[in-house]
Chains A and B, each alone.
Chain A
Amino acid sequence: MRRRLPLVLGTLGAAAVVATAAGPMPGAGAASHASAPTPAPAIQHVIVVMQSGHSFDNYFGTRRGVDGIPANACQPLAPKSTTCDVKPYHLSLDQARAGLADSLTVTRKAINGGKMNGFVSAQSNAAIGTVAMGYLNSSDLPYYASLASRFTLFDHFYAASQAGALPNRLVSVAATDGGLTSNQAPAGGISTPTIFDRLDAAGLGWKYYVQGYKGPATPTQPASVGDQVRTPLLAMPSVTGTPDRAGKIVDTSQYYVDLAKGQLPAVSYVTGSVNSERSPQNPALGEAFVRTLVNALMQSSAWRHTALLLTYDDSGGWYDHSLPPTIGGTQVGLRVPAILVSPYARAGYVDSTQLDTASIPAMIESVFHLPPLTAQDAGSKSILTAVDTHQQPIAPAISPSGAAAVVVPRPAVATIYLLYGLAFVGACLLIALAFVRSRRDPLAAAETLPSPEAPE
């Protein structure tokens, strides 16, 4: 895989140059000043779908072919104990709705200086802590499993920050956590440059789609803490104070309209709220929300030129066995699930490149040839290692749900053919027997007699 990296980056770099030279991208909102026909870049749209609060091991730890839950994984109940008290176990979807804590303190306790043995004890009590060792599998989240099978799954994608959702979401748009150590934005708001500044400067369109978004905050109806955590732009005066930019934060219903009208911007961020998956929300409902987003994309004309990254802001307090690396002198957070969905994603591939949340703005910068925001994204490895623009594009295919997902086992077809065949042949033999015997029948001779037409 690493040997292919230069080739891929070169290809995408060339694509980005072509894209820049060609000027506008369909739906990107820039004016056209191309003078000669040039091949369209493979990736013209990037969509970042960021859900909340699950670790890689929690969702994909039992999947084959990934760096999943080790066979000897076990956690002590007490903070400084070395005993094996709680082993990973299969959760029900209801159990997965336990309210786990995932603050900076909790995450540090879980990592425990690199021993990775504090996941149970870091929680408020043993009962909840035990839940942290649970995992879901492909039968619980069949759609995510199918996405991983058909596209590229990253198994070393780390949350950039250990401090929770908001710092990580800030990294996803600004390549820095801004020094945040919790989900509370500073009183004066956040004032760091973002990828959207870069996009605006390049004349590229963007939108931030938020599930259930009710519109800009007003003095009587300020943005809630939850909204700000999921949408750090709401904590940025440079965005909320500019109607044009604030108007780009919209409800997810607009996402479908934009897709249907062929007006998907160059860069889209999408976040669930009531279906964000963070416990105690039901992961299955979040999965359904994501399925709707991806289905709509696949059914649109934008599919052919889009890379959609599905990932999570942080690990949500769930167990993950992989020791977070230290990048730029700071130990990053725990692994989170990440799947790249694109016609050019490498199908069924597990990409083990070490990535983190800062790789998201880095990917956007790579695709659209934008300068980096910080040293964090400048030094980040690219998600685009999972992209091969020379491959046969993956055709869209919606994973069925509901009744369509029920596969009825095939009955014994040979038995059906045998029995009906026997009945048919048997009946034909009886008919043939009747004909043969009737020829020997003296009464049959009557049929050879010339006769008048009617009996009467």
Chain B
Amino acid sequence: MTLLSDERAEVSAPPIDEPRPLDPWRGRVTVPTTVWLSLTLVVGLVVRLVNLNVLGFNSDEAVYAGQSASLAGNPLFVNQFPIFRAHPLLLPTLMSPLFSSGTPDLRGRYVVALLGVGTLFAVFLVGRELYGSKTGLIGALLLAIMPYHVIVTRQLLLDGPALLCITFAFWMFARFVRTERLEWLAASAATLGLAVLTKETAVVLAGTMVIFLLVSAEVRRPGRALALTVGVLVAVSLVFPLAISLAGRSSTGQNYLTWQLTRSSNHAETFYLTAIPAAIGFALIAVAALGLVFRVNRTWRELLLVLWVLVPFVIFEIYPLKGYQYLLPLAPPLAVLAARAMTTLHLPGRWDRFTSSIARPAVAAVVVASLLTGTWSVLFPSGATALAGQGGVAGGREAGKWIGANLVPGTELMTIGPSVANILEYYGHRSAQGLSVSTDPLHRNPAYTPIYNPDLSVRDGQFSYLVWDAYSAFRSPSSAHRLQVLVTRYHGIPIHTERSNGQPIIVIYEVHP
């Protein structure tokens, strides 16, 4: 609130129709800037492509890829992956030509990695729009090596592409604020609409824009701007429900809405505070925060960036459902704020002469080193992770391919949970169902079919293969125990094992009642 007060105190809007004063730092992108930006993008691309194929898809990736393939009419997937699931279909629609045949995985990740690099460019534009090219460059570099963004944009997830749209939307929004040209606002709202059509959670960023329009003295006709923003955003976003309805899947949409609204909390309240800061970088967050505290001449620019951070954080913190990648929209504004702090850092008094030679490089070195350390562990992991969204599932792709090559078409598999079931269905083209899927329709993803009576299903011959995996066993020990009971009861014989560091991570059992 102090920030808002300061901003209001310092900024007095010029009269309507009077041309805005020009920002003195605005100018053509210079050759050195182009070179450094290109290097930054190359670095960003490299860290997103190194070891990209070490692990196969995780559950969410398998679902999105399966949707794309199903949309494209890929015969391997049309009967296995329903097109409509929880999220909108902009990305699957655009990617579907890549999935029209075979069982592709890497090409989908390439697309997301490239879009992630595109986000770096968008961050450069945001930083340059607000503070100049140097801030833009540093902001892009910080995001390029930020573990959080690297992790998410190395996976075929919706969050990376949605963030690209969000960042471009805020760049255009900033241009609107500077120029008050409504076409930039319309373009910004439309781009945010594309973000919503990529992943519906992006709609929370509309809150940032709305609050900014309401509280910032910089915007001279907030009512008009608000109406335009909301109107364009709603018009574009309406495609999501409209497509479901016109494609004849209204009940599917309602089922997902009911499920999303009634889902119980999946993580503790402290989840984001414990899981995300390290991925963004403690040093980066600290520098961004200190920059805000010590730089007193705060303007609409800082207001916009702070709202860009706070609104999604507060909303997702309140929302009971938590996801590792949900806070990704915080990454660009934090990177820009940190870059702003680095470029404007001044040492007090007589030490100021060391600002450029020592202080700024030292701070930058610490932040970059801390980010690189985290990113290194992403590119060259030493152990498996069990947090959804953090990466692929070790052995999942290999087990799926083994199933596809060795088990007769039509075989049905019972897994501990739906995550590995999705992976095995994607790579193995065999139906798989998770034991942990609730029989209560209010407590399960409508895309999943529960196993009402696992024991009977095995005895009836529906399931001849039971799949144990370490990832699901960690997340759902009780379901893992139930599966092991069935394996023992029905004389399970391990017919295939995937190992990591010598330890079994996926075991496929053949059972006979």
Contact = CB atoms under 8 A, between A and B. Distances in A.
* Pairing of A with B: yes
Interface of A: 253, 256-257, 260, 285, 288-289, 291-292, 295-296, 298-299, 395-404, 406-408, 410-413, 415-417, 419-424, 426-427, 430-431, 433-434, 437-438, 441-444, 446-456
Interface stretch (B21-29, B40-48, B140-148, B500-508): B21-29
A398 B408 contact: yes
B25 A452 contact: yes
Contact of B186 (A402, A413, A430): A430
Nearest to A437: B183
A427 B191 contact: yes
A4 B236 CA distance: 66
A427 B236 contact: yes
B236 A292 contact: no
Interface centre among A431, A434, A449 (most CB of B within 10 A): A434
B510 A454 contact: no
B475 interface: no
A437 B180 CA distance: 12
B457 A402 contact: yes
B94 interface: yes
Contacts of A407: 79
Contacts of A285: 460
A403 B431 contact: yes
Interface residues of B, number: 71
Contact of B22 (A291, A296, A446): A446
A454 to B, nearest CB: 5
Contacts of A395: 409
Nearest to B184: A434
B131 A455 contact: yes
Q: Is the interface of A mostly helix, strand, loop or mixed?
A: helix
23 contacts: A292-B460, A295-B410, A299-B408, A401-B412, A401-B460, A402-B449, A404-B412, A407-B79, A411-B247, A412-B247, A413-B73, A422-B239, A423-B194, A423-B239, A424-B90, A427-B194, A427-B236, A430-B183, A431-B190, A443-B179, A449-B27, A453-B343, A454-B135
Nearest to B33: A453
Contacts of B242: 419
Interface stretch (B55-63, B81-89, B204-212): B81-89
Interface in B351-390: none
Given A413-B247, A449-B26, 11 more contacts: A288-B462, A292-B460, A398-B410, A398-B411, A408-B82, A416-B71, A416-B243, A430-B190, A433-B186, A438-B181, A454-B344
A449 B27 CA distance: 5
Given A397-B408, A400-B410, A413-B83, A443 B183 contact: no
Contact of B408 (A396, A422, A446, A450): A396
Interface in B48-75: 71, 73
Given A438-B183, A455-B131, A401 B27 contact: no
Closest A-B pairs by Cβ, 6 of them: A292-B461, A398-B410, A404-B431, A256-B512, A403-B449, A427-B190
A276 B278 CA distance: 63
Contacts of A415: 243, 246-247
B68 to A, nearest CB: 12
B229 interface: no
B78 interface: yes
A299 B411 contact: yes
B193 A450 contact: no
**Residue among B23, B89, B461 with the highest chain A CB neighbour number at 10 A:** B461
Nearest to A256: B512
B190 A420 contact: no
Nearest to B134: A453
A417 B181 contact: no
Nearest to A253: B512
Contact of A299 (B295, B433, B464): B464
A453 B247 contact: no
Interface string B446-473: 0001000000010011101000000000
A448 B27 contact: yes
B356 to A, nearest CB: 12
A400 B431 contact: yes
B19 interface: yes
Contacts of A413: 71, 73, 83, 247
Contacts of A419: 239, 242-243, 246
Contacts of A299: 407-408, 411, 464, 510
Contacts of B158: none
B224 interface: no
A438 B247 contact: no
B20 interface: yes
A402 B22 CA distance: 68
B93 interface: yes
B395 interface: no
A453 B339 CA distance: 13
Given A411-B248, A427-B190, A260 B172 contact: no
B247 A397 contact: no
A260 B493 contact: yes
B194 A447 contact: no
B155 to A, nearest CB: 22
Contact of B90 (A256, A399, A420): A420
B190 A412 contact: no
Contacts of A427: 187, 190-191, 193-194, 236
A282 to B, nearest CB: 11
Nearest to A407: B79
B179 A441 contact: yes
Nearest to B461: A292
A398 B409 contact: yes
Contacts of B194: 423-424, 427
Contacts of A291: 461
B231 to A, nearest CB: 12
Contacts of A401: 412, 460-462
Interface in B115-170: 131-135
Given A260-B510, A456-B297, A451 B243 contact: no
Contacts of B247: 411-413, 415-416
A288 B190 CA distance: 54
